Amino acid sequence: MLSTKASIFILSIICSSYIFVSCNDTSGGAPGAATAREGYFTSEDNIRLYYKMTGQGADTLVVIHGGPGMDSEYMVADFEPLADKYKLLFYDQRGGGRSTLPKDTSQLHMTQHITDLEALRTHFGFEKMTLVAHSFGPALAARYAITHPGRVARMVFLGPIPPIRENFWERFGDAVNRRLTPQEQKELSVQYNAMIEGPDTKEACRKFWNIALKPRLAAGRKVSIIKGDCCAASPEAIRYGMDITNSVTINSMGNWDYHGDLPLVTAPTLILHGEEEAIPMDMVEEWVKAMPHAQLIKVPRAAHFTYVERPDVTWPAIEAFLEKK
């Protein structure tokens, strides 16, 4: 059986997401990457946060990657369909990718991730933000919307973790384990340890995600459909994010339960969740029950990466939602 920590990383998948060659090597860059604008902004506790702006259009979408401990590169290439109509602002959360890897792990608390989003807003001068978030990302987006309700215009959740922790890891872990053979489970553990402690972090990272992504896709889907690269970061950032950021940030959330605060979220919210997702659908439905302006689309023949597995459903649904007045 997979450990809770290994299950967290598979969820975080998200080199998915977002991230995972697949996680393919996308060193050549996604279409339009040559015109991307990159840089850094600084949070209130002097953490430097990397960002990349791609796409064109009058409106900007702030894209929140999964993890925690991952980075935005696992999403950039696969989000290209939105770049024709919108500017896409990706950023690497603290403790991952090209952003600061804090020596003081107390700087990896969920509250600081919320502060970083507010720092992003003020840095770019947005009055309100439209947030598009994947996997762990919706938990961060929702907490930001609870804390700063007047600063969020709309939200899109893709394959979100549920708004309550109770029974989640057990059910999620069981679903993942059922989709892996005993040999795959063993090899996943071997490659995780090699990624953290071995001499070739990048190679082990790719082998890890090539197994970890399998149970996060619908039956018959190949990992190669994902263009994003979950192993694009430096070896140091990969080790830090997977070994430290992920567990510290998740643990800082405690036995999370958003139900009491979600009625405060006034922003219209669209949720897309694959019908073959390991994250239980009934737990995701709790978002819709608690948020006054949320709607859920259940996506057939898709799991954690609806935007890659069913782009014919995902992108039109998102565009129609964003165009509503």
- Tally of helices (H runs) and strands (E runs) in the chain: 12, 8
Predicted pLDDT of residue 186: 97
Predicted pLDDT of residue 215: 96
Predicted pLDDT of residue 3: 42
* pLDDT tens per residue across span 16-37: 333 322 344 333 344 444 367 9
Predicted pLDDT of residue 36: 77
Complete domains list, the chain, with CATH: 4-323 (3.40.50.1820)
Distance CA 230, CA 22 (A): 8
Kindly state the greatest CA–CA separation across the chain.
Answer: 53
Predicted pLDDT of residue 1: 40
Residue 253: CB atoms within 10 A of its CB come to 19
Pairing of strands 60-64, 87-91: parallel
DSSP letter (8 states) at residue 92: P
Residue 119 token pair? 């720092």
Which residues of the chain fall short of a pLDDT of 70? 1-35, 325
